[in-house]
Amino acid sequence: MKRTWQIMGMPVTLSLPGSDERAMFRLIRDYFRYVDEQYSPFKPSSQVSRINAGLPRSEWSKEMKAIWQRAAQTKRATNGYFDVMHQGRFDPSGLVKGWAIGNAARLLRRHGIQNFYVEAGGDIQVKGRARPGQPWRIGIRNPFDRYQNIKVVELTDQAIATSGTAIRGQHIYNPHGATDPAVVSLTVIGPTIYDADRFATAAFAMGRAGINFIESLPGFEAYMVTDEQRGTLTTGFERYEAVVT
């Protein structure tokens, strides 16, 4: 069973192979709707919008305060390349998407779901198998041809996130100076989508040095594509690559 909804301005997909647990689909759909209502910077009623309108910190929810702390920790861990403040406004979207996918995955595990695929806007967390004996096969789009996969990876209990310019144009900026236009796509594989997503964003902001940042992180691998249509892999990326016949 598979369902896709348009939430948070992006397609959100849940796949539960071999399962027809409709309550799980409703649970995940409603959770993402809740996240959108609370964290969208485009909805005037969201808590993020109310913070930008002057909501005092004493009135922030406990969850929002935790997001702020996570953002501060991520900024430190990435040497300032990941920042939720943009031109004086609070926008945690780059952190919240991976956080929400990870929370959805935890909800599924808590309900005993052994095999699942949760995706929001191209960022994915999987567990178990797509079908008996077969890992999840996930294509990495060619940033120069969105109808072609440049790589295919096989995952079982990992996450994958891509930052790039192919769909939304240049929307990730280097807070320390000029943005490096050479990098057009950077995909990160890691144990959790929260980490894969935030580190992919930061690494992309670093430009060509971003692949070295991911190389330095234990348990993470990356694939970077430049404007010269050249791909660079971290040392362990190939172990995830599928044999495509």
Domains and CATH numbers, the chain: 2-240 (3.10.520.10)
What whole-number percentage of the chain has pLDDT above 70? 93
Predicted TM-score (pTM) of the model is 0.92
pLDDT one-digit tens code per residue, 31-51: 999 999 999 999 999 999 999
> What is the model's pLDDT at position 169?
45
In which band, very low, low, confident or very high, does the pLDDT at 166 lie, cut at 50, 70 and 90? very low
| 172 pLDDT above the threshold of 80 | no
pLDDT one-digit tens code per residue, 52-110: 999 999 999 999 999 999 999 999 999 999 999 988 999 999 899 999 999 999 999 99
Give the Cα-Cα-Cα angle 160, 162, 166 (nearest 5 degrees). Answer: 150
